[in-house]
Amino acid sequence: MGDGLNMGKLTLAIIATTVLLLLSTSPGVSQNQAAYEGPGFESFNPEQNMLFLKGDEDNQVLDRNWTTVTGLPPGSTSFSKTSSFTLPTIVDASAAPVLEPFRFEGNITARLFASLETTSNACSLSNIPVGGPLGSETQFSVTISMGGFEVMSGVETESMVMSKDRTDPHIFEASVSNVNVSMNSGDEIRISIQVRHECAVSGTLWWGTYDSTTGIIFDGNIIETKLNVILDQNRLGRIEFTPISPWGEADFSSQAIELVGPMPWREMWHGYVEHDKWLDHFETPEGTSKGESNRTILTWSTDGPLAPGNYMLDACFTLSDQDP
């Protein structure tokens, strides 16, 4: 890092990764992150990370991209009362192998969107007595493995008497807490779903649309970001961003970076800067290089030299698994 450059504040929102980097181009500035009184670096990651069920009934996969498709879900599998006597497996899907080792600590939830084939009260009318042996409830059992280790083993969702169709599906969830698991390069995350369906009206599990996001929710950190700025001898700034995800840099689908300043530390706030303080705006990377562990580094350069003073990088990085 060049003389006098220090790392500042970073912020990540749920929908987009937001980076706020405070830096000084004057030598000898000591680090002090208290109340933005000096250079430093801080980050807030999305509260949840997602894997979505994709594909069709015969070719099911887990994918990181939150789709914008609406209407009839492209993915579904149906189940009937007779087929549920043996608790059939209706989903068996895996994600692409991870590209680098990572450790996950947090909670995991499987969220499923299911309905009857058509809107009907038949299941409710036949569920007498409620919860009895002749009931008409639906329940799913979920198993999730990470790198061959079962972090969720046959965990059941709530039982529910369904009445709605695909336009307003019921939501079923199965959760586990305090997961602590490590994965190595080449390991996979896999989900298996079984169903118990007691109603004479057939049901369907839906996936693959913006609204029907059947899949896995990770309450815990999965992605990381590294942001660096280097001044050369001509005081030109080189911005380096390293997107870090178990599935590679493709998880970061776009970015917008603002270089603002010079300005006092106390005036540096994410998302609100006077227009006359904007020096540079960056989106499409101007270049790439390779860094630690062969990770891809996205790079940009300032249009001109930076005058002595305090500067801020305010950047948003959109993640593919967040609500588009």
pLDDT value for 127:
57
Q: Same domain, yes or no, for 21 and 148?
A: no
Report the CATH number that the domain containing residue 307 is assigned in CATH.
Answer: 2.60.40
Q: Residues 303-310: what's their mean pLDDT? A: 88
Evaluate whether 241 touches 12 at the Cβ level (below 8 Å): no
Rounded to an integer, what distance in angstroms lies between the CA atom of residue 142 and that of residue 36? 46
Average pLDDT over residues 229-249: 90
Specify whether 71 is located in the same domain as 101: yes
Same domain, 236 and 165: no
- Amino acid identity of residue 94, one-letter, is S
Claim to verify: residue 234 and residue 281 sit in the same structural domain: yes
What is the per-residue pLDDT for 98?
96
Residue 11 forms part of a structural domain: no
Tokens 């062969």, residue located? 294
Question: Which CATH number characterizes residue 159's domain?
Answer: 2.60.120.260
Q: Which stretch, 43-47, 89-93, 121-125, has highest mean pLDDT?
A: 89-93
Q: Binning pLDDT at 50, 70 and 90, where does residue 309 land? A: confident
* Residue 39 preceded by cis peptide, ω within 30: no
Residue 207 scores a pLDDT above 50: yes
Residue 189 has pLDDT above 90, yes or no: yes
At residue 32, the pLDDT reads 36
- Specify the range with the lowest mean pLDDT, choosing from 1-10, 46-55, 104-113: 1-10
**How far is the C-alpha of 260 from the C-alpha of 164, rounded, in Å?**
52
In terms of domains, do 255 and 300 share one?
A: yes
The answer to whether residues 124 and 175 belong to one domain is yes
- Given pLDDT bands bounded at 50, 70 and 90, which one contains residue 275? confident
More confident residue, 132 or 266: 266
Between 86 and 5, the more confident residue is 86
Query: Are 162 and 60 within one domain?
Result: yes
For residue 140, give its domain range. 49-219
User: Does residue 110 share a domain with residue 162?
Assistant: yes
Answer yes or no: do 286 and 209 share one domain.
no
Cross-strand bridge partners of residue 78: 204
Write down which residue in 150, 184, 219 finishes a domain.
219
* 211 & 267 share domain: no
Let me know: does 269 contact 76? Beta carbons within 8 Å: no
Check pLDDT > 90 for residue 3.
no
Q: Are residues 107 and 215 in the same domain?
A: yes
Do 20 and 270 form a contact (C-beta atoms < 8 A)?
A: yes
Q: Are residues 102 and 234 in the same domain?
A: no
Name, in order, each residue with C-beta under 8 angstroms of 153's C-beta and a sequence gap of 6 or more: 143
> The pTM is what?
0.84
In a domain, 72, yes or no: yes
Domain termination site, one of 168, 188, 219: 219
**pLDDT for residue 321:** 93
> Under a CB-based contact definition with an 8 Å cutoff, are residues 140 and 204 in contact?
no
Strands 149-156 and 224-231: unpaired
Given 219, 236, 267, the domain boundary residue is 219
Residue 10 has pLDDT above 70, yes or no: no
Pairing of strands 310-319, 16-24: antiparallel
Count structural domains, the chain.
Answer: 2
| pLDDT value at 34 more than 50 | no
What pLDDT, in 10s, does the model give residues 155-168?
Answer: 999 999 999 999 99
More confident residue, 204 or 226: 204
